[in-house]
């Protein structure tokens, strides 16, 4: 029975030349949209990650603070689950960096030499796992290391960080909504196309019904044909993505701050293959099942 169903489905797919071609074409467009949404999600994630990496809080220590006390506080900060990473800059290193930044300012360097001592203190740059967690980290700093801390720049940047956090959350939500709407629209188009293809075979189905064919035997070939349409559409989409990603790859490196679409596609090709072939098989099979069931009252 299964062999007959698969054989009939393959023959139906081949014989229905123009209808099969139209179905594969529409499903190719549908899967291309789904693939584009995968790229869009990757670009959005990379952009938000880049924005998060640029947000940090700097802790400036008093010049009288000992390095051992500062390093002990750094160890405590590193142990917090909210903290992603920390970078410690000693007083001597801060002085070297200050001289490098003002290498062309002879007056400033002369004034620094006349002091006879290092006026700069050590600092600690803290990156949180999420920008919304900085306030909790700063509260912890105030409670545990206030005697050796001179200042924290969080309060100067608090408004900017809060606005950035809101923008990141809003962008992530908007991106999810856009992905969902495009995926839903493309799915509906694919379902409608396959149902129309099945509707054109209503006379053939009626004859099969009259001679006593079971519902499974009637649905089976159409489901197989729908799955074949999805598989062929997925393979065509994968082939089209390769030159398209290669063509725009170098441009995206400039536009997106180092993100290469072609490299992302080749590195994640197994994921693209599973997503597009899986989506094609599901859309083709499910749409064929619904088309026979709903429109032909089997």
Supply the mean pLDDT for the chain: 78
In-domain check, residue 289: yes
Tell the residue number behind the tokens 């197989």, with chain if given.
224
Is 135 in the same domain as 104? yes
In a domain, 152, yes or no: no
Q: What is the pLDDT of residues 1-30, one digit of tens each?
A: 677 767 766 776 677 677 778 778 888 888
Residue 158 lies in a domain: no
The pLDDT tens digits of the residues spanning 113-143 come to 777 677 778 888 888 887 778 888 888 887 7
Q: Is the dihedral of CA 58, 63, 66, 69 positive or negative?
A: negative
Query: Is 56 inside any structural domain?
Result: no
* Residue 124, beta-bridge partner list: 59, 88
Q: pLDDT band at 236, cuts 50/70/90?
A: very high
User: Do residues 6 and 109 both lie within one domain?
Assistant: no
The residue-averaged pLDDT of 71-81 equals 86
- Please compute the mean of the pLDDT values over residues 196-200 and round it to a whole number: 69
Instruction: Choose the final residue of a domain: 119, 147, 175.
Output: 147
DSSP 30: H
260 with 253: CB under 8 angstroms?
yes
One domain for residues 257 and 208: yes
Average pLDDT over residues 147-164: 73
Q: Are residues 263 and 200 in the same domain?
A: yes
pTM for the model: 0.64
My answer on whether 67 and 133 are in the same domain is: yes
Kindly state whether residues 210 and 283 are assigned to the same domain: yes
Strands, E, within 32-95: which ranges? 57-61, 83-89
Region for 118 from its dihedrals, namely left if φ exceeds 0, alpha if ψ lies in -120 to 50, beta otherwise: beta
In the β-sheet with 123-128, what is the strand arrangement from edge to edge?
83-89, 123-128, 57-61, 149-152
Q: How far is CA 202 from the centre of its chain?
A: 43
If asked whether residues 119 and 243 sit together in one domain, one would say no
Q: Is residue 161 part of a domain?
A: no
Is 57 among the domain residues? no
pLDDT of residue 277: 92
State whether 230 and 279 are in the same domain. yes
Co-location of 78 and 105 in the same domain? yes
pLDDT in tens, 260-275: 888 889 999 999 999 9
pLDDT category at 240 given cuts 50, 70, 90 is very high
Q: What percent of the chain has pLDDT over 90?
A: 6
Q: Does residue 154 lie in a domain region?
A: no
SS (H, E, C) 151-212: EECHHHHHHHHHHHHHHHHHHHHHHHHHHHHHHHHHHHHHHHHHHHHHHCCHHHHHHHHHCC
Domain count for the chain, please give it.
Answer: 2
Gap between the Cα atoms of 251 and 248, Å rounded: 5
Mean per-residue pLDDT for 75-91?
Answer: 86
| Same domain membership, residue 233 and residue 95 | no
Domain that holds residue 117: 63-147
Tokens at residue 103, please? 């290498």
Confidence (pLDDT) at 235: 93
Question: Is the same domain home to 228 and 287?
Answer: yes
Closest CA to 189 of 34, 38, 295, 9: 34
Using CA atoms, how far apart are residues 91 and 293, in angstroms rounded to an integer?
A: 76
In 3D, which of 168, 137, 145 has the Cα closest to residue 72?
A: 145
**pLDDT of 294 above 70:** no
The CATH number linked to 109 is 3.30.70.3040
Q: State whether 226 and 284 are in the same domain.
A: yes
């Amino acid at each position: 029975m299964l062999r007959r169903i698969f054989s009939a489905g393959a023959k139906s797919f081949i014989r229905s030349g123009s209808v099969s071609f139209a179905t594969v074409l529409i499903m190719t467009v549908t899967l291309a949209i789904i693939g584009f949404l995968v790229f869009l999600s990757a670009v959005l994630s990379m952009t938000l990650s880049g924005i998060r990496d640029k947000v940090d809080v700097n802790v400036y220590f008093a010049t009288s603070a000992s390095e051992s006390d500062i390093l002990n506080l750094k160890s405590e900060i590193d142990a917090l689950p909210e903290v992603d990473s920390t970078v410690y800059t000693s007083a001597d290193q801060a002085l070297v960096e200050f001289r490098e930044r003002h290498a062309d300012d002879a007056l400033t360097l002369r004034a620094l030499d006349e002091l006879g001592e290092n006026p700069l203190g050590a600092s600690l740059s803290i990156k949180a796992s999420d920008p919304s967690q900085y306030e909790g980290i700063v509260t912890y700093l105030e409670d545990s290391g206030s005697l050796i801390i001179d200042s924290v720049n969080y309060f100067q940047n608090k408004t900017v960080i809060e606005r950035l956090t809101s923008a990141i959350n809003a962008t992530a939500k908007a991106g999810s909504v856009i992905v969902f709407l495009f995926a839903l629209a493309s799915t509906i188009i694919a379902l409608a196309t396959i149902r129309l293809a099945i509707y054109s075979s209503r006379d053939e189905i009626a004859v099969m019904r009259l001679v006593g064919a079971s519902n499974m035997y009637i649905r089976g070939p159409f489901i197989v044909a729908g799955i074949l349409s999805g598989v062929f559409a997925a393979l065509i989409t994968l082939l089209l993505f390769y030159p398209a990603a290669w063509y725009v790859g170098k441009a995206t490196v400039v536009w997106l701050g180092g993100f290469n679409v072609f490299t992302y596609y080749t590195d994640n090709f197994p994921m693209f293959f599973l997503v597009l072939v899986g989506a094609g098989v599901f859309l083709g099979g499910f749409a064929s099942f619904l088309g026979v069931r709903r429109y032909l009252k089997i």
